[in-house]
Structures are given as C-alpha cells and as structure tokens.
Structure 1
Amino acid sequence: MKSKLICLLLLFACKISFAGSSRDTLLDRLNQTIENAHVYDADRVKQINVLRQALSTSRHLSTEEQFNICQQLYEQFKVFKYDSAFAYARKLQELAKQMNDSQRVNYAVVKLGFVLLSSGMFREAGDYLLTVNVHSLPDTARAEYYSLMGRYYYDMSDYSSDTYFAPSYTRQGNIYIDSALMLYKPHSFNYDYSYGLMYQKKQMLDSAKHYYTLTVAHQDLTMHQQAIATSSLGNIYIRIGKQDSAIIMMTRAAMADIMSSTKETTAMFILAELLFKERDVKHASRYIEYAVADASFYGARLRKVQVSAILPIIEVEKINTVEAQKTLLFVYSAIATLLLLALIWLAVIIFRQYKKLQAAQQVITSAHALQQEINYKLMEANKIKEEYIGYCFQINSSYLDKIKKFKKLADQKLTDNKYAEVRYLVNNIDLKEERDELFRNFDRIFLKIFPNFVTVFNSFFKEEDRIKLKDNELLNTDLRIFALIRIGISDNVKIAQILEYSVNTIYTYKTKIKNKAIIPKDEFEERLMDIKAL
C-alpha cells in the first residue's frame, strides 16, 4: 500500500512537472527519450522472447494454455509489429476452432480486425468484423467489439473525407460507440475516452475536451493509455486553435508511445507537423523521420503514406535553412577576412612600404583564388538544389495527378458498385515500377548535373574492375550510392532509406568498391567530391 501511494505521488509530481515545464524543456525530454528508445524496445522484445520460449514447448501444453500464451503474444505485438500480431491473431483463431469454442473464435476475429484496421486495411478489417457473432461474446469482449467497430467507421469517415459518405460512416460509428458505452463501467478510462471520441465526431468540441481531460486525469494509467489520452486531448487543442497546448500534449503522447514501445501511433507525426508550421524545422525533421521509421517497422501502410507525404516538404525546408546558414557563415567569414587583411595592411605600412605591397599582392592573389573556388562551389550547390527541388515538385505533381486519376476512377467504380474492378485497379498498382521510375528520374537529373561522373568514377579502377552499365541503364546501385554521396548525402542510414536497402548492405557495397580502387582509400571520397558539375 505504501509503495502504491509513493507511485501515485510520483505520477502526480510528474504531471505537475510537465504542466510547469516550458515547451523547449519538454522537447529536450522527448529528444532524450528518443535516444533511449532502444532500451524500451529491448524490454518488449525480452518479454516476447520469454513467451515464445514458453510456446515452443507446446507439445507439453494444453490447447487452452497455448491459446492463453498466444493471446499474450498478440497483446505484445498489436501496437508493435503488424505481421506478427496478425500471425498470432490467426493462431488464436485456429486454436479456438480446435477447442470448438465459438466464443473464442469470435474473440480471435475481433483481434484480427484490430490489427487489420491499425495497418490501414479497411476492406479486410470490415470483412472480418462483420462476421462476428456479437451475442456469443462476454460483456468485456462485446464492448471491445463495439468500440472497434466505432473506430472502423470513424476511420472510414476520415479516409473518405467527403460530404456524401463521411456523415453516414460517422453516424454508424456513433451507434457502435453508444453500444460500447452501455457496457463500460461509468467513469472508467474506456468510458470517458469513448464519450470524448463520440463528442469529437459530433463536432461538440467543448464536451469532447471535458471527457478527454478526464481521461488524462485518470490515475494508474498505462503508458499506452497515457499516449491515447494526451494525443486525443492534443487533437482537440488543435481544432480549437490552442497550438502551444497541442504541442505540449502531443509531446507527452510521443514520449509515452516511445516508453510503451508503441509503433502504431500518430502523435510523433502530428507533433512534427505542428512544429513545422511554427518554423521549427530542426525538431520537425527529426520527428518526422522517427515517425516514418515507426510506421515502416510496424507495417502501417496508410500511416506510411500519410507520414511520407510531408517528409519531402520538411526536408526541402531543412535544406533551405542550411543554405541560409551557409550564406550567413560566408558573410561572417568574408567580414573577418577583410578585417584581417586591413590589420595586416596597417602593420605592413608601419614597418616597410615594400613588404606592405608584396604582402597585399599575395593576399589579393590568394583571396581571388579562394573566391573563385568558393564561387564555383556555390554555383554547384545552387545547381544541385535547383535541379532537385524542381525534380521534387515535378515528381510530387506527377504523383498527385496519378492519385487524382485513380481516385476519380475508383469513385466511379464504387458508385457503379464495381468492387471487383476497384480491387483490380488497386492490385495493378506496380510499386516496383514506380520505384524504378523514381530511380531513373534521379539518374537522369544527376547525370544532367554531372555528365562525366561515370567516366571519371571508372578512372579510379583498373580496366577489369570498372563498372559496365547495361543497355538503357544510366546508373546502377554501385554508382547510385556514390552519386548520393557526391550531392552531399553521406550518411549510410539515409542512403539505405533512399535506396531501400539495409545499412549493412550499403556499408558492404561501399567497402567492396573502395577495396578495388587504385587510389588510396582515405583519398577516395575526396577524389569523388572533386568530380566537377557541368
């Protein structure tokens, strides 16, 4: 009892500390939490491994014992990794069928529906959830089902985002949430949260804020519940125009997500958007990259699309900020150089006229050469920036046109109830071809800037070790890695993300190629950067 009281006091003190902290202090805490994310993830993996070890002895376990362990593994994976959560939900379904337990079969389908919905697979989630025999479930599972169906229709409403289908989806979601509320214990976390969600969808923001505030104030919340409560309240603050309060809530939610090792989340993404709107590009860039990594790790298809849409915008702004800082640094350097030259000039006048003229001539010559080199590098940097910013806008415009055409065609098919044709349209989206087209465009722009890149790069190797391109091939993976380094992207992690390889694979490629070079390894990248632009 005493230890529980101490925990409550610490939790209360923590909340007071959060409330009194400045936004910058909270962001510093979030940055520190990100640095420690691997610790929280390792703890979850450790728990998973213990459960998997227990399940590996399944020949000594009853079917019911296997079901209970699989249920625990599902709970570990459901907000951590989609494919594993889906696999264990399927395992639950199989075990329930073996036990001939219809209640557990329906319970397993609810779990399947949750992970499918979390990954953005609305059609599949609906197909499963609508098969559930609700009346066979106990009250707690029934409440969970109604709540999940409410979320399903709310998500469908948000996804469609139109004036025809969205209101109908929202009304259907409200009906299910209302059914869940009849089963939840009054003033419990799920009860208050569900009321807040329903009022939010009804655009009754004051009532939604009231109930979300109650959820945040609940004692003994898990980290995952804290993340849900604070991010929901943060969304209300966004809707009513209280940006500072929204940032504080989303920061707290992002921290709770990391500490609970939750990968299926929106708090970090929304926080990045809020900070970007306030011109805090440094934090926005870091958080959006983290959000992309989480979405990729979990396997949330829709979330990856949402997060990736804003990533290029933030990165372009980040590049512009760096360029502005470089320009400012150049101005300061020029001023410092002029002051130094003036001091030398005055000193030389005092001692000897001849030395003054000789020193001044040397300084002017050196400054001229340095200026020419700086001007060339600035022209090269501007050329790269102009070409790739134009390329980014062109690519985005092209994708928007494709999405617009696809949406128009899909809407028409859905209106005509041609669902099979819609599925055919979706299945015929060739992601590999899109990725190959992206690389081809990158190669084309790069070789436009550095037309002699392949020739000069091959000169670093013996004849038998030189890279030979196939017909109609502008660059291959080997050349593309070093092309990215030449335009300033030297971090293996970012190169791996762009080319969709692992970091180890990029490292292996680079090492293998450098080992074949006829020039010293420590001079390789310096010689690479000396390859001139057009």
Structure 2
Amino acid sequence: MKRPLKLLFVLLLSTISYAQNMGLYKELDSQILKEKHYDQLKEFRLDSLKFTLLDLRTKGKEWDRYLLYEEIANEYSTYVFDSAMHYYRKAIDLAYRMNHPRAIAQCQSRFGHLLVSVGYYKEAIDTLNKVNILKLQKEDLQDHFSYKVRAYYDLADYVNDGYYSPVYRVQAEAYVDSVLKHQVPNTVQPLITKGLRFLARWQPDSAAHYYAKAGKMPITLHEQAVIHSCLGYIDITENKIISGKEHLIRSAIVDIKTSTKEAMSLMVLARFLFEQGEVDRAYKYILKAKDDAAFFGSMQRKLQVAEIFPAIEGAKLLLEERKKEKAVRYIWVVSALVLVVFVFLLLVYRQLFNLRKIWMIIKQNNHELKLLNNQLNEANKIKERYIGHFFNTGSLFIHKLHDISVALNKVLVANNPQKLKTVLRNINPKKERDQLFHDFDEVFLKLFPTFINEVDNLVEPDRKYVLKPGQLLNTELRILALIRLGVEDNETMSQALGVSINTIYTYKTKAKNKSALSTDEFFKRLKGVKSV
C-alpha cells in the first residue's frame, strides 16, 4: 500500500512542478515582450547620468565627475560593452589626472572585472595585476580578489587542457582564500566565491548549498540572476530537470528586467530545451540570446551563441520540414477525397456556379457598402464637428446682430448721428470673414491634423506650402480642404470664400501644377487624406 501512495505523491509533485514551469515560461515570454520598456528605462537612467555629467565640467568638480563616469560604466557593464569600456577608461584617466591612488585602484579593479566578463582574459589579468591593493578599501579588496577568482577559473575553462588549466585553477583557488581572508561580514560575495570553488571542483551539493545560502541574503537583482543561473546549471547537470529549468527561467527573467545583455541563462536554457526536444521554444530563446549578444557587443558571447545556434536552427528547419511533409501527406489524402467528391460536384456545378456569382456580387456589394459606411462615418464626423461649431458660430452671430439692432434702435430714438457712425464703424465684415475662415481652418485641422503634411507630400519638395505667422491655412490650402470635404463646385467655393470663380480656378490649377502627379491622381490622393 505504501509503494502506490509514494508513487502517487511523486507524480503529484511532478505535476505541480510542471505547472509551475509552464507558469514561469509564460512570465518569461511576457517579460521578453516588455524588454523594450526595460531598455528604455535603462537608457533614461543613462541619459540622466550623462546630462548630470555635462554640468560637472567646471574645475573643482573632478571627483564628482569621476564618480559619475564610474556609475555610468557600471550601468553599461552588463548592457553595452564598448560604452562600458569607454567610460571606465575616462574614469581611470581622470583618476590619474587627480592623482587619486584609491580611485585608480578601485576603477582599474572594476575595469578588470568587465574584461573578464567579455572573455579578454589576458588583458583582464594584466589589468587586475596592476591594481595597487594597498589603496583598496576592505569591501573593494574582497571584490577585487573575487574578480581574480573568476578570471582564472574562466581562463581555465576556456583553455580546457591538461597542462595550463590545472595551473590556472590552482591560482584561482589561492585567490578564493584571499577573498575569504578579506571578507566583509554580512556580504554575499564570500558565499558566491565558495560556491564557485566547489562548482569548479565539481562538488555540486556543496556548491548548491552556498549558492542557496547566498540567495537568502539581501542581494541585488543581478546577484539573484547569477545565483539562479549557477543553481540551474548544477541541477540540470545533476539531472534535476524541473528545478534546473525553474532556476534558469528565473535567472533569465531577472536579466530581462535589469536589461542585462551579457547574461548566459537564456542561452543555457535554449541549449537545454533543445537537448530535451523542445525545439520551438529553444529556437525562440536562442534568437533572443543571439540578439542580446550582438547588442552587448562581446565577441565571446557571440561565439558562445554561434556554437549552439546552427544546431538549434537546423533542428527548427528540420521540424518545419517534417511539418511540411506531414502537411503534404494530408494534402494527398484530401486530394483523393476531393477526387471522389468531384463526381458529385459535377452534378451540382451549375447551381454552385450560380451561387458563386451571387456570392461574388454580395461580396462586392459588401465591400462597396463597407467603403460607403466608412465614408458615411467620416461624413457624419465632419458634419457633427462643423454643424456643432457653426451652430455655435451662428448663435454668436445672431447675438451680435441683436446687439447691433439694439444699438441702432437706441441711436434712432436718440437721433444721434455721431453715435450711429460709431456703431457702423464697429461692424467689420472683413474681420468677421477672417474669423469665419480661422474657425473653419481650426475645425478642419482637428479633423485632418496631417492634412498640410499630406498635401506637402503630393507636391514637389521645393514647392511646399509656407504659411505666414498665425495662419492655419492659406486660401490655396483652404480650397484644397473644401475639395477634401467634397465641395468641388467652383461657384460654391467662390461664394464660401468670397473670391471670384476665376480665382478659384487659378488656385486649383496652381496647386495641381506644384505636383508631378497627374491631375486625376493628385485629386484622388487629396481626397484620400484620412481624418482622425
């Protein structure tokens, strides 16, 4: 009885873990879609720091400028390699100009760490060896030795031979002791370093113990990603598939949230999924890892991705080919069925042909109806805007007439000719017409905000419309606006705009002559300008 219960318990745990992984996949895919948002936040932080840097060019601000250089370099260190190197070099140069030994040592140490992360092992070790460790503070000293640990372990893995690699591992072990000797209490780096030592020795249980312990401390998001990545690698190598995937996914999610482009988690996850036969998901993630490597600009990352990418891409192509072959088999089966059915289709061909003709007519009518619908909607929108606006304008005009009428009555009653002249001077038809045109222009441009740009796109580049200060539209553009609204009669336009029919004709011809398009094509495109 105990054995079936135990088996049921194991199956239940597996089901729960699988469901958790699927949930994490969804979260990872969701975060990938938000990648641009996180990158924009990163760019905003960097732009803010660079903007602050511009204010610190005056003499006496060197130390503040140095700190900003280093902060910008740190931001770029997992984002864009070239930019990180550029700002680290600026920080180091400034530290030398200030003759500040601690700043020189600190910045060279962190620059060495950057070089390690991109696989410039010789340059990294040379840079780290130049650091005057006597000038480093305790926490910087701990981090400095941890950079050397990683440099020699990574170099050993890179060389991967029986002669040099053991020597590099011995050197790395010695620097592990240095990290522990100079460790700062309540910091996570000593635990991560111990985990790395046991990982290099391939003592996975001990390594996992220290990484898990580090994960329970107050740590940064980037440190979370590193710990999850290492635990994922250990679990997958130890054939703990579900937990390994979970750690790698969590690491990749954190990398996306922090805009970390030099990360390995997504690439390792893609490789593992490929080995597990999840080709579609592996292909999606390796493409993302490939884009990240190209964005970061590290040749090492590009080579690491290039090592696995062709295999995954080949498997993806093979999978697609098999899908095509399967589809072809289905097509043959369906074709055979079609041939059988074809005999019956001949009997009803005439009816179907007639139905098809009717269907085509209905489809055409539906298409025309849809176009008419769109035009009606646009016309309704235009009518609503203009009727509402000009109803309001008419009301104001009636109020003005009423005021003038009252004023004239008062003048007549008072028999005051001088007052009559004053009233008549206040009546300004030109001003009223200009206001009418301005109101028309304002409402039209709210309906068609891109109208002027669209018209400029129809004319020659050197003949674009230039408006005077305060103008929304000029007479020529107003005529084109009326044409867009469906008013094409010259007489109607002349009455609306208060100009002669010949003037309307002249302006239309002038507008058309500015364009290289034919007359029909010009006015067709003009009428196609979209409203909001």
Residues 275 and 284 in structure 1, CA contact (< 8 A), matched pair in contact too: yes
AA at the equivalent of 2:205: D
**Correspondences of 1:211-250 after superposition (within 5 Å):** 211-218=210-217, 220-250=218-248
Q: Which stretch shifts more, 234-243 or 71-80? A: 234-243
**Correspondences of 1:442-453 after superposition (within 5 Å):** none
Deviations 1:190-241 (A, max 9, x none): 22211111111122211101111122333x4322111111001111112322
Deviations 1:14-65 (A, max 9, x none): xxxx978432222222111111111111101000000000111223461111
Residues 142 and 184 in structure 2, CA contact (< 8 A), matched pair in contact too: no
Residues 119 and 300 in structure 2, CA contact (< 8 A), matched pair in contact too: yes
Within the alignment, does 1:192 sit opposite 2:191 as a pair?
A: yes
320, 323, 348: which one pairs with 2:321? 323
Deviations 1:425-484 (A, max 9, x none): xxxxxxxxxxxxxxxxxxxxxxxxxxxxxxxxxxxxxxxxxxxxxxxxxxxxxxxxxxxx
Counterpart CA distance in 2 for 1:190 and 1:126 is 20
Tell me the equivalent position of 1:521: none
Counterpart CA distance in 2 for 1:167 and 1:239 is 22
Within the alignment, does 1:26 sit opposite 2:24 as a pair?
A: yes
Tell me the equivalent position of 1:482: none
The alpha-carbon deviation at position 117 of structure 1 amounts to: 1.4
Counterpart CA distance in 1 for 2:33 and 2:219 is 24
Residues 86 and 112 in structure 1, CA contact (< 8 A), matched pair in contact too: yes
305, 308, 313: which one pairs with 1:307? 305
Tell me the equivalent position of 1:109: 108
The alpha-carbon deviation at position 186 of structure 1 amounts to: 4.5
Counterpart CA distance in 2 for 1:149 and 1:39 is 35
**Correspondences of 1:15-414 after superposition (within 5 Å):** 21-60=19-58, 62-186=61-185, 188-218=187-217, 220-345=218-343
The alpha-carbon deviation at position 128 of structure 1 amounts to: 1.1
AA at the equivalent of 1:93: I
Tell me the equivalent position of 2:482: none
Count of residue pairs brought into register by the alignment: 335
AA at the equivalent of 2:93: E
AA at the equivalent of 2:98: M
Residues 78 and 262 in structure 2, CA contact (< 8 A), matched pair in contact too: yes
Counterpart CA distance in 1 for 2:84 and 2:219 is 23
Deviations 1:487-521 (A, max 9, x none): xxxxxxxxxxxxxxxxxxxxxxxxxxxxxxxxxxx
Counterpart CA distance in 2 for 1:82 and 1:316 is 30
Counterpart CA distance in 2 for 1:90 and 1:249 is 35
**SS of equivalent residue, structure 1 residue 59:** coil
**SS of equivalent residue, structure 2 residue 161:** coil
Counterpart CA distance in 2 for 1:142 and 1:76 is 21
**SS of equivalent residue, structure 1 residue 268:** helix
Counterpart CA distance in 2 for 1:19 and 1:89 is 44
AA at the equivalent of 2:263: T
Distance 1:347 1:43, change over 3 A: closer
Counterpart CA distance in 1 for 2:336 and 2:215 is 59
Residues 235 and 244 in structure 2, CA contact (< 8 A), matched pair in contact too: yes
Counterpart CA distance in 2 for 1:204 and 1:331 is 51
Counterpart CA distance in 2 for 1:186 and 1:31 is 38
Q: Which stretch shifts more, 285-294 or 153-162? A: 285-294
Say which one has the larger Rg.
2
Residues 139 and 184 in structure 2, CA contact (< 8 A), matched pair in contact too: no
Counterpart CA distance in 2 for 1:108 and 1:271 is 33
TM-score by length of 1: 0.60
The alpha-carbon deviation at position 76 of structure 1 amounts to: 0.7
Counterpart CA distance in 2 for 1:271 and 1:187 is 31
AA at the equivalent of 1:142: L
Residues 113 and 126 in structure 1, CA contact (< 8 A), matched pair in contact too: yes
Deviations 1:397-417 (A, max 9, x none): xxxxxxxxxxxxxxxxxxxxx
Name structure 1 gaps, 5 residues minimum: 1-17, 357-534
**SS of equivalent residue, structure 1 residue 22:** helix
Distance 1:312 1:292, change over 3 A: same
Deviations 1:322-380 (A, max 9, x none): 111111112222222322332343576xx69xx99xxxxxxxxxxxxxxxxxxxxxxxx
Residues 33 and 255 in structure 1, CA contact (< 8 A), matched pair in contact too: yes
Residues 146 and 179 in structure 1, CA contact (< 8 A), matched pair in contact too: yes
Counterpart CA distance in 2 for 1:239 and 1:182 is 31
Counterpart CA distance in 2 for 1:162 and 1:341 is 66
AA at the equivalent of 2:248: M
**SS of equivalent residue, structure 2 residue 130:** coil
Q: How many percent of aligned residue pairs carry the same amino acid? A: 30
Root-mean-square deviation (CA, aligned residues, Å) is 2.2
Deviations 1:297-339 (A, max 9, x none): 1121112111112111111111111111111112222222322
Distance 1:233 1:258, change over 3 A: same
Counterpart CA distance in 2 for 1:21 and 1:326 is 31
**SS of equivalent residue, structure 2 residue 328:** helix
The alpha-carbon deviation at position 187 of structure 1 amounts to: 5.3
Distance 1:255 1:338, change over 3 A: same
Residues 243 and 274 in structure 1, CA contact (< 8 A), matched pair in contact too: no
AA at the equivalent of 1:139: K
Deviations 1:275-307 (A, max 9, x none): 000111111111111111111111211121111
